[in-house]
Every structure is written in C-alpha cells, then in structure tokens.
Structure 1
Amino acid sequence: MVVEMQMVMELAATVLATLGMIIDGGFSAIKKEGKNVFDLGEQAYWLTVVFNVVTWQVCFMGTAGMVFLTSSLTGGVCMTALMALNVLGGVIVYGDNFGGFKVISTLLCVWGFSSYLYGLHMKIEDEEQKNEDSTEIDEQQFVL
C-alpha cells in the first residue's frame, strides 16, 4: 500500500511538472540549454537528464520501501544521511563552495545519523543482555 501511494504521488508530480513545463515553454529552454550551455554535447545532456530523473525515482521508491519494511524514523534518518552525501558530492564533483552553512548542516546530518546508529546499537546490546539473563535464569531453574 505504501509503495502504491508513493507511485501515485510520483506519477502525479511528474504529470503536473510536465504540464507546467509544456505551458511555460520549459522544454524549449531545455533544448537550448542542451545545445548551447552543456559542454559535453546535446546527447550527453539528455542522457544526464534522463539518468537523473530515473535515479531520483528509484531513490524515492527505495525510501518508500524502507518505510514499509522498517519505520518512518529509519527512512528519515537515512534521507538525512543522504543529504550530507549530496552536499559533499556537490563540493567534490562540481567544486561548490563549502561555506559555513554547508559545514554546519553536514555536521548536523552526520551527528544525527551517528546518534541514531549509536542508539540502535545500544538497544540491540540491551536486548542481547536481557536474553542472556533470561537464559541464565531458565538454566538455574532447570538445575534446581
């Protein structure tokens, strides 16, 4: 059900964005950009656009699947970690300026993700300790 809802939302967003671009003449601007602005040529530009659209759709479907299989908290935490990777990727690949706001937001994303992983680790350790304690109690009752 969650994946179906996500697909409907993505389809609606795609249709509305396409209609908006048709009405506003955005496709002609994209053609001009592919011919005149993009350094690697028009074919590489269109491949980049299509690849970008497909990868974002896969990313959003993966997030919906993660929410379906785990929890919305896990999906949110993983999206937060992806935001930090997006910022770092933009700095490394495109040479963006890594100013103060980007440093702070990246550190907060990493801190939040690390805190979540540490909390999850501690929860698993507590559950393992409880299982060991209950096993010891069961063994003592069996001996008596």
Structure 2
Amino acid sequence: MVMLDMLVLLCGQTIAQLLGRLYYNSGGNSKWMATLTLSGGSPLLAILLLLTPPHSAGAGTQPPASKMVPIYVGLGILIGLDNLMYSYALQYLPVSTFALVAATQLGFNSITSHLINKQRFTALIANSVVVLTFSAALLGVGSSSDGTSSNLPHGKYTLGFILTLSASAVFALVLSLFEVTFEKVVRTRTFRWVLRVQMWTNIVASMASVCGLFASGEWRTIPEEMAAFKDGRARYVATLVGTAVSWQAVSVASLRLITRVSSLFANVTGTVALPLVPVFAVVLFGDKMSGIKAVAMLMAVWGFLSYVYQHYLDGRRAATTKEGAAECRVCAARAGGEAVLHA
C-alpha cells in the first residue's frame, strides 16, 4: 500500500504541475481560478468517503468537533494561502525551474519535522537541507541564463522565485501539522479519517479561493478567458478538471504516507518527481535545460539521496534494535526456566 501511495503521489504531482503550466500557456490568466483547482476537487472525496466502511478497525475514536473544527479552519486557510503563492509562482517561472525550486520544501520539512514532530536531525539530513538550499540559490543567481524568463516583466522572475520558496516553507509546515494532528488529536490512522481530514481542510481552502475570485473581480473575466483559450472551451474545462483531480490524488496519497510513515517521508517521495517534471517540460513546453539548471537538478537529486540513505540507516537500526530485544526476551525466558529447574 505504501508503494501504491508513492506511485499515485509521483504520477499525480507530475501531471498536476504540467497541467497547471498548460493552463497559463494556453491563455489562462486567472490566479484565483488556478488556486481553486489546487483544492477545488475536494467534493470528489465525499464519494470515496461514502464508499468507505464506517466501522473499520480503529474507527471508534471520535475527537470532539470543538477540537477538529478549528484544525480544519486553520489548516484550510494555510493551504489556501499556500495554493495562491504556488499559482502566482507557476505563472512567473518556467515549470522546470518551478519544480526545482519547490524541491526546497524537503529542507524546510526537515526543520519543521525536527521542531514539531521530534524527527532526528542527523548529519545526512543537514547535508540534504544545505544542498537543496544551494540548488535553489543557484537557480536564483542564474535566472538571467533562462531564456523563458526574458519574456516576463522586470522583477517577475525574482517574485516567482521568492513565492515558490515561501510556498515550499508553508507546505512543509502544513505536512508537519497534519502529522501532529493525527498523532495528538485524531489518534487513529484509518483511510476514512484520512479522507475526512483532507476533504474538510480542502473545502475551507476552496471557500477562501472562491471568496478571492469574487473579491478580486476575476470572475467577470472567466467567460472571455474560456472563449479565448487555445483549442476552445472543452480544453479549458478539461485542463482545470484534470488539474483539480490530480491535486486531490496527490493530497490523499501524501496524507496516507504521513499517517503510515511520516511527513518527511511523504515530502521525500514528492521530491522524487523532481527529475521528471523538468524533462517533460523541455519536451512539452520547450523549456530550456541550461547548464545551471542541470547542475541545480543534480544537486537537488543529491540532497534527496542523502535523506533516502538516512532513512535506510534508520530502518536498519530499528530492525537491529528489534532483533536485540527479541534475543533478550529469549535469554530471559531461558534464564528463568533454568532457575526454576535448579530450584
């Protein structure tokens, strides 16, 4: 099941980022509409929730609504803010650069996991944080070599870079808060509760996006935007629906990995998509794979591998500890039996 969740997360994240860029490339311009697609597919989770058995094992724990409602609202607002920053950033950056800078969320998540979830901060994890930070800094310094940035108004590339970093930090915080919510409040990790938490937090984020859409006045431009969209209205709707469905698949798979393993593991899995998005962006959108971008990608992959190796070491250490504990119990049992026989 963990492998299945990882596959859904990888495929969904790659498709969602490419469709998000396709929306802007084909004539879409509404930031709030793009933001809404990041959480607007949440009503689909109600269908899965209805199909999930209500009396599964461990489902008896029911946290009071007085605790869950503030959590839903608080996390939902954070998710909505994070979605808005990502929407702006994706318009101001080539999708390949966006994907590489977004990989810094692994470094941010290492910090939030250590502070909030008591995750051990080892030398390998520190190396991952440093390398990913330098990777993002290299992209920022080398922005002038990216041919696609020359088409943007002055300062937009830098703004997109800053927004992506900020969104990555907020996303890392949200993942850690999800983990502590299941540990301290929900106290059960069933699929039904995963769907419930995901659905309500995304509904709050969607409501915030709808309010922004109407408050900004962008809702008036939607009919014109749809009519001017490349290849017509059907492709406009299909692009938005596909993006919304993909992000919901990513969210559910990520939350399931958080409940099964940890928020840091879920974030590392998402980082595996790092080499995929730039390659597809070069093929589909004509993004330039410059030397600086290639070096930054290799550095980001190295940062990811540092954490993977740390996870491998932790797994071996845990297995050794269990084996040692089992041997101690056997020895104690033998010693007890010999004492009885002697007596």
Q: Secondary structure at the match of 1:82?
A: coil
Q: CA–CA distance in 2 between the matches of 1:104 and 1:60?
A: 30
Does 1:26 pair with 2:218? yes
Contact 1:66 1:75 in 2 (8 A): yes
Q: CA–CA distance in 2 between the matches of 1:20 and 1:127?
A: 48
Letter in 2 for 1:67: I
Cα separation, partners in 2 of 1:34 and 1:101, compared to 1, 3 Å = farther
Cα separation, partners in 2 of 1:17 and 1:96, compared to 1, 3 Å = same
Structure number with greater CO (CA < 8 Å, separation at least 6) is 2
More helix per residue:
1
Letter in 2 for 1:94: F
Deviation at 1:124, TM superposition (A): 4.5
Correspondences of 1:112-127 after superposition (within 5 Å): 112-124=303-315
Which stretch of structure 1 is more off in the superposition, 96-105 or 120-129?
120-129
Does 1:94 pair with 2:281? no
Which residue of the partner structure matches residue 55 of structure 1?
246
Q: CA–CA distance in 1 between the matches of 2:237 and 2:229?
A: 13
Q: CA–CA distance in 2 between the matches of 1:108 and 1:85?
A: 15
Which stretch of structure 1 is more off in the superposition, 24-33 or 43-52?
24-33
Q: CA–CA distance in 2 between the matches of 1:100 and 1:9?
A: 40
Structure 2: which 5+ runs fail to align?
Answer: 1-180, 183-193, 335-343
Contact 1:6 1:61 in 2 (8 A): yes
Q: CA–CA distance in 2 between the matches of 1:55 and 1:126?
A: 36
Q: Secondary structure at the match of 2:273?
A: helix
Paired-residue identity, %: 25
Which residue of the partner structure matches residue 106 of structure 1?
297
Larger Rg: 1
Question: In the comparison of the two structures, how many residue pairs are matched?
Answer: 136
Correspondences of 1:2-81 after superposition (within 5 Å): 2=182, 3=194, 4-38=196-230, 40-81=231-272
Cα separation, partners in 2 of 1:64 and 1:97, compared to 1, 3 Å = same
The root-mean-square deviation of aligned C-alpha atoms, in Å, is 3.0
Letter in 2 for 1:14: S
